[in-house]
Amino acid sequence: MVKDNVTIQISSGLETRPIAMLVQVASQYESSIYLESGTKKVNAKSIMGMMTLGLDNGENVIVTADGADEQEAIRNIRSYLTQDK
């Protein structure tokens, strides 16, 4: 299991379209991937779960990946969250 603390750097925050893109990135991996914010922890492959987080630009989240491709998953999730797309 790998954990990484990431500061979101997407100017619009995680609204519907950026969330859908994040779910697509996470869904490419076999590993279980979760995002945590405050007391909430949701499956990064679940669009409905991700929408409940209501994350904005500049917020910190903990990304957790567990599985065979966890290192690559964490790296690419971090890359997505820290680049203004």
Q: What does the alpha-carbon distance between residue 4 and residue 64 come to, in Å, rounded to a whole number?
A: 7
Q: Examine the pLDDT at 85 and tell me if it is beyond 50.
A: no
Structure tokens at 8: 């979101």
pTM: 0.91
Q: What does the alpha-carbon distance between residue 42 and residue 83 come to, in Å, rounded to a whole number?
A: 21
Q: Examine the pLDDT at 29 and tell me if it is beyond 80.
A: yes
Q: Which fold has domain 2-81?
A: Histidine-containing Protein; Chain: A; (3.30.1340)
Q: How many CA atoms lie within 13 A of 28 on its CB side?
A: 11
Q: Would you place residue 12 in the very low, low, confident or very high pLDDT band (cuts 50, 70, 90)?
A: confident
Helices 16-27 and 70-81, interaxial angle, to 10°? Answer: 160
Q: Where are the domains of the chain?
A: 2-81
Q: What does the alpha-carbon distance between residue 36 and residue 30 come to, in Å, rounded to a whole number?
A: 19
